């Protein structure tokens, strides 16, 4: 079983920055990738950014140039640096860990961007 804990969410003005963190603990087998998803009110959860254990990253178009995902797989930790935040970035941000066996989700952290 893998346990994920996110932190770093909060209220920020448009144009501001936030840094999210996610730490994984428990029985970790072959952690392959860690990702950040976002769920805005009334919308489906969507992928924001992903980093693989070999360092490859991917971003949704709206995050490119503004968000940076980084990870320390030795410490099973992933970060999401968010800059130039917009009101449409508001939502609950979830961390996900992909292993060779299962995928795990954190409980989410709220990010609210005021315009």
pLDDT at residue 68, as a whole number = 98
pLDDT at residue 91, as a whole number = 98
pLDDT at residue 101, as a whole number = 86
pLDDT at residue 70, as a whole number = 97
Q: Token pair of 107, please?
A: 């409980």
pLDDT at residue 97, as a whole number = 95
For the stretch 42-96, pLDDT in tens is: 999 999 999 999 999 999 999 999 999 999 998 899 999 999 999 999 999 999 9
Average model confidence (pLDDT) across the chain: 95
Residue 28 has pLDDT above 80, yes or no: no
In angstroms, the CA 90 to CA 48 distance is 12
Residue 27 has pLDDT above 80, yes or no: no
What whole-number percentage of the chain has pLDDT above 70?
Answer: 97
pLDDT at residue 5, as a whole number = 95
pLDDT at residue 86, as a whole number = 97
Residues in CB range of 89: below 8 A, 6 or more apart? 38, 62, 82, 111, 113
């Amino acid at each position: 079983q893998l346990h994920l804990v996110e932190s770093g969410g909060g209220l920020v003005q448009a144009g501001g920055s936030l840094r999210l963190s996610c730490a994984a603990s428990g029985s970790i087998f072959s952690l392959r990738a860690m990702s950040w998803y976002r769920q805005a009110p009334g919308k489906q959860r969507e992928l924001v950014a992903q980093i693989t254990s070999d360092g490859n990253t991917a971003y949704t178009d709206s995050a490119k140039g503004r968000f940076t995902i980084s990870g320390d797989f030795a410490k099973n930790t992933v970060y999401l640096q968010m800059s130039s935040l917009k009101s449409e970035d508001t939502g609950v941000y979830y961390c996900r860990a992909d292993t060779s066996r299962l995928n795990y989700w954190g409980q989410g952290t709220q990010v609210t961007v005021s315009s």
